[in-house]
């Protein structure tokens, strides 16, 4: 059961931010910047240790003000090799609010540009993992909001340096317990280092038990001593590998995983059977971006919440692209019945999600937000949006640049294992592409390939209906329940959807399905629906690919090395695809994962083979 995040409320004492809850300061009274540089950067022998590395990983206990991140980022930017990437993971039980961070950052003008960029992408205070890309992707920040030992137990990473910066052990003993030290030992890469301002015996003994050779060094300012340590074993040299992949499928799954690999220096051949990108289910004029909260923090809820916020940050990353089409209009999720009214209200008012993520609205406010009378109260997601999936696919490939080579009107009939990896061939045996790594991102069509016949996937036909927009009949927000309707899109239509037909694979639009969608519209916005001319509607059908429990399959496909899948996105492709593409790219590269390891393990194809699709 997840617990609501209780934000910190910093005060000031003698020029330093101060926690009244813990009775301790956030940075040294002798200077926060200099303390960070002495204790954590010099204490971990940085920047020398990342000079010859393509990737370096830091884990911090106690994000606090983010000062350590900003200093490490600034140093990495100045001294790391071109193309190198820094993974920075930081846990905090009581993170600061964005406004409090903004006020604190005025103390360090030299870090102002980096602080501003962090604040632009700073996540809402929701329990769990939050992956942010900073500095054009050179910095991957993963914020872990929750109890330190619990959060670290869910981390999957090989950490090169530890910044142990929680409040003092005497004031915050729960953080510095045996469970935390055990997790540090599990996560440490051979030759990893650690540093902390604390010289307490409890810390020294805990790090020694975790496998670190610990020594005392001169502390900073009025603090006489600090601790540093080195984990057993020799630091491993980075494996030299050929970073080439072929990706099958040019929808949002394939385009986004190709972009994520390209961001890591890979060359990708993207193979699409149609004449262009997003011509199948990803070709709908609009899809809805909204999470699925729950009271118990189940897998669906955790994944959709993380995916929702990550997708918003990726759209923000792509926002400089003038051809990206989306609207953050907010999403209303109406309750189905009296029982669900109480359930939704309980979840919204539990405090688990802040009001900038989820708010309960009554019938009057819901109608005002929609711009039309609605038949029920419900959830309001103020950050919810609709997105044009083809524009997102195009933006991803433009961001990837020449690193992605697109092959259209080429259908993969087979994937053949070779001495050097994988060969994609067409029905005539012609070679379409070859690479050490292959990724299946072609939905239900993946099961046509011999290497994927055992995957628990099933096709589900879905048809949308497009209603011409008219002056004076604006819908202000996406309204959803058992179906959805969008505001007028850039194409001059409201999108209503969608049907859900198990097993069907034909894609011709049907009149009876338009009728079913118009009935959905009547259940959402009855007054708006009453004036729709059914003779003027149009639409399209596509085939979704659905996995067990309507969760995607992400990761290595059992049986053959170098074969991966990003499949089963179902009707939540916009929520799942961005985060799952990042998850898959991290898994392929051996990087710190962007989500909890139990959640990642549950999505792996190897864990799903015995589950009914």
What pLDDT, on the 0 to 100 scale, is given for residue 171?
77
Tell me whether the omega of the peptide bond preceding residue 123 falls within 30 degrees of 0, making it cis: no
Least confident stretch, 220-224, 348-352, 565-569: 220-224
Residue in the structure block whose two tokens are 């916020």:
309
* Nearest-angstrom CA–CA distance, 55 and 143: 18
CB atoms within 10 A of CB 246: 27
The answer, yes or no, to whether residue 613 has pLDDT greater than 80, is: no
- The whole-number pLDDT of residue 374 equals 98
* Tokens at 91, concatenated: 């846990």
Find the angle CA(278)-CA(280)-CA(285) to the nearest 5 degrees: 65
Considering the chain, what is the average pLDDT of its residues?
94
Alpha helices in 154-266 (DSSP H): 178-187, 201-209, 252-262
State pLDDT tens for residues 383-403. Answer: 999 999 999 999 999 999 999
CA angle 396, 128, 318 (to 5 degrees): 15
Q: What pLDDT is stored for residue 472 in this prediction?
A: 92
Band (pLDDT 50/70/90 cuts) for residue 245 is very high
Could you give the CA distance from residue 239 to residue 162 in angstroms, rounded to a whole number?
23
Q: Give me 244's structure tokens.
A: 């080439």
The C-alpha atoms of residue 443 and residue 435 are separated, in whole angstroms, by 21
Q: For a pLDDT cut of 70, what percent of the chain falls above it?
A: 98
Q: Of 247, 241, 195, 193, nearest to 218 (Cα)?
A: 195
Amino acid 27: pLDDT: 66
Residue 1 in tokens: 């059961």
pLDDT tens for 457-473 read 999 999 999 999 999 99
| pLDDT over 90 at 222, yes or no | no
Specify the pLDDT at position 30.
64
Distance, in Å, from the CA atom of 84 to the CA atom of 131, rounded to the nearest integer, reads 18
Nearest Cα residue to 227 out of 182, 196, 271, 193: 196
Query: Among 2, 125, 114, which Cα is nearest to 69's?
Result: 114
Task: Give 420-436 pLDDT, tens digit per residue.
Answer: 999 999 999 999 999 99
Bridge partners (DSSP) of residue 539 are: 465
Domain locations in the chain as residue ranges: 11-231, 244-281+390-456+548-607, 330-384+458-546
Task: Please give the structure tokens belonging to residue 405.
Answer: 């080579």
Distance CA 126, CA 184 (A): 24
Q: Which of 522, 502, 514, 593 is nearest to 303 (CA)?
A: 593
Per-residue pLDDT, 560: 83
Q: How confident is the model at residue 233 (pLDDT cuts 50, 70, 90)?
A: confident
The candidate with the shortest Cα–Cα distance to 89, out of 110, 104, 70, 69, is 69
Sheet bearing 287-289, strands edge to edge: 287-289, 385-387, 326-327
pLDDT on residue 1: 65
Average pLDDT over residues 155-161: 98
Task: Phi first, then psi: give them for residue 552, nearest 5 degrees.
Answer: -75, 165
Report how far residue 57's alpha carbon sits from residue 591's, in angstroms, rounded to the nearest whole number: 9
pLDDT of residue 219: 87
Q: How confident is the model at residue 364 (pLDDT cuts 50, 70, 90)?
A: very high
Which overall architecture, per CATH, does domain 244-281+390-456+548-607 show?
3-Layer(bba) Sandwich (3.50)
Helix (H) or strand (E) holding 378: strand 378-381
Report yes or no: 10 and 107 within 8 Å, Cβ to Cβ: no
Q: What is the pLDDT of residue 107?
A: 84
Can you tell me the distance from the alpha carbon of 113 to that of 169, in angstroms, rounded to the nearest whole number? 33
The predicted structure's pLDDT at residue 221 = 78
pLDDT in tens, 257-309: 999 999 999 999 999 999 999 999 999 999 999 999 999 889 999 999 999 99
Q: Which residue has the tokens 């669900």?
A: 340
Q: Kindly report the CATH number that applies to the domain delimited by 330-384+458-546.
A: 3.30.9.10
Packing angle, helices 389-400 and 252-262, rounded to 10:
20
pLDDT over 70 at 566, yes or no: yes
Size of the chain, expressed as the number of residues it contains: 613
CA distance 137 to 582: 12
pTM given for the model? 0.96
∠ CA 190-194-199, rounded to 5°:
140
CA angle 359/364/365 to nearest 5° reads: 35
What is the fold, at CATH topology level, of the domain defined by 11-231? Rossmann fold (3.40.50)
Q: What is the mean pLDDT of residues 397-417?
A: 97
Average pLDDT over residues 23-42: 81
């Amino acid at each position: 059961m997840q617990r609501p995040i209780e934000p910190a409320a910093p005060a000031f004492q003698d020029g330093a931010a101060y926690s009244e809850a813990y009775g301790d300061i956030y940075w040294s009274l002798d200077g926060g910047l200099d303390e960070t540089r002495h204790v954590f950067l010099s204490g971990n022998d940085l920047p020398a240790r990342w000079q010859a590395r393509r990737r370096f990983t830091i884990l911090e206990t106690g994000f606090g003000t983010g000062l350590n991140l900003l200093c490490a980022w600034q140093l990495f930017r100045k001294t790391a090799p071109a193309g190198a990437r820094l993974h920075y993971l930081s846990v905090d039980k009581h993170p600061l609010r964005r406004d409090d961070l903004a006020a604190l950052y005025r103390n360090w003008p030299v870090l102002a540009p980096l602080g501003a960029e962090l604040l632009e992408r700073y996540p809402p205070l929701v329990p769990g993992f939050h992956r942010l890309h900073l500095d054009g992707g050179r910095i991957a920040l993963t914020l872990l909001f929750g109890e330190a030992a619990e959060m670290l137990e869910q981390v999957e990473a090989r950490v090169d340096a530890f910044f142990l910066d929680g409040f003092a052990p005497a004031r915050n003993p729960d953080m510095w317990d045996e469970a935390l030290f055990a997790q540090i030992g599990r996560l440490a890469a051979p030759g990893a280092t650690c540093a902390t301002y604390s010289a307490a015996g409890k810390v020294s003994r805990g790090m020694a038990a975790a496998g670190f050779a610990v020594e005392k060094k001169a502390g900073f300012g009025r603090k006489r001593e600090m601790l540093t340590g080195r984990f057993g074993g020799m630091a491993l040299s980075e494996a030299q590998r050929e970073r080439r992949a072929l990706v099958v499928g040019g929808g949002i799954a394939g385009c986004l995983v190709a972009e994520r690999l390209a961001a890591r220096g890979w060359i990708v051949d993207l193979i699409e059977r149609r004449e262009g990108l997003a011509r199948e289910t990803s070709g709908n004029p609009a899809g809805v971006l909204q999470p699925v909260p729950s009271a118990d923090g189940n897998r669906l809820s955790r994944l959709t919440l993380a995916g929702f916020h990550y997708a918003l940050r990726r759209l923000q990353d792509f926002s400089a692209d003038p051809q990206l089409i989306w609207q953050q209009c907010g999403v209303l999720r109406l309750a189905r019945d009296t029982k669900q009214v109480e359930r939704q209200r309980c979840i919204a008012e539990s405090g688990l999600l802040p009001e900038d993520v989820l708010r309960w609205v009554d019938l009057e406010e819901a109608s005002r937000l929609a711009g039309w009378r609605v038949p029920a109260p419900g959830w309001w997601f103020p950050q919810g949006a609709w997105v044009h999936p083809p524009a997102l696919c195009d933006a991803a490939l433009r961001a990837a640049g020449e690193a992605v080579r697109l092959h259209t009107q080429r259908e993969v009939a087979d994937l053949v294992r070779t001495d050097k990896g994988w060969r994609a061939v067409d029905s005539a045996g012609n070679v379409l592409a070859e690479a050490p790594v292959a990724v299946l991102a072609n939905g239900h069509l993946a099961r046509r390939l011999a290497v994927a016949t055992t995957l628990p996937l099933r096709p589900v036909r879905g048809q949308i209906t497009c209603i011409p927009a008219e002056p004076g009949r604006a819908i202000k927000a996406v309204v959803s329940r058992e179906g959805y309707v969008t505001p007028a899109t850039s194409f001059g239509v409201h999108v209503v959807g969608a049907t859900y037909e198990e097993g069907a694979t034909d894609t011709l639009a049907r009149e009876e399905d338009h009728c079913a969608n118009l009935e959905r519209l009547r259940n959402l916005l009855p007054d708006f629906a009453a004036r729709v001319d059914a003779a003027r509607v149009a639409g399209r059908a596509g085939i979704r690919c659905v996995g067990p429990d309507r969760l995607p399959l992400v990761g290595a496909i059992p049986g053959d090395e170098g074969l991966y899948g990003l499949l089963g996105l179902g009707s939540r492709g916009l929520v799942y695809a961005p985060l799952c593409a990042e998850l898959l790219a991290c898994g392929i590269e051996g990087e710190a994962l962007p989500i909890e390891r139990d959640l990642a393990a549950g999505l792996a194809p190897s864990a799903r083979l015995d589950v009914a699709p």
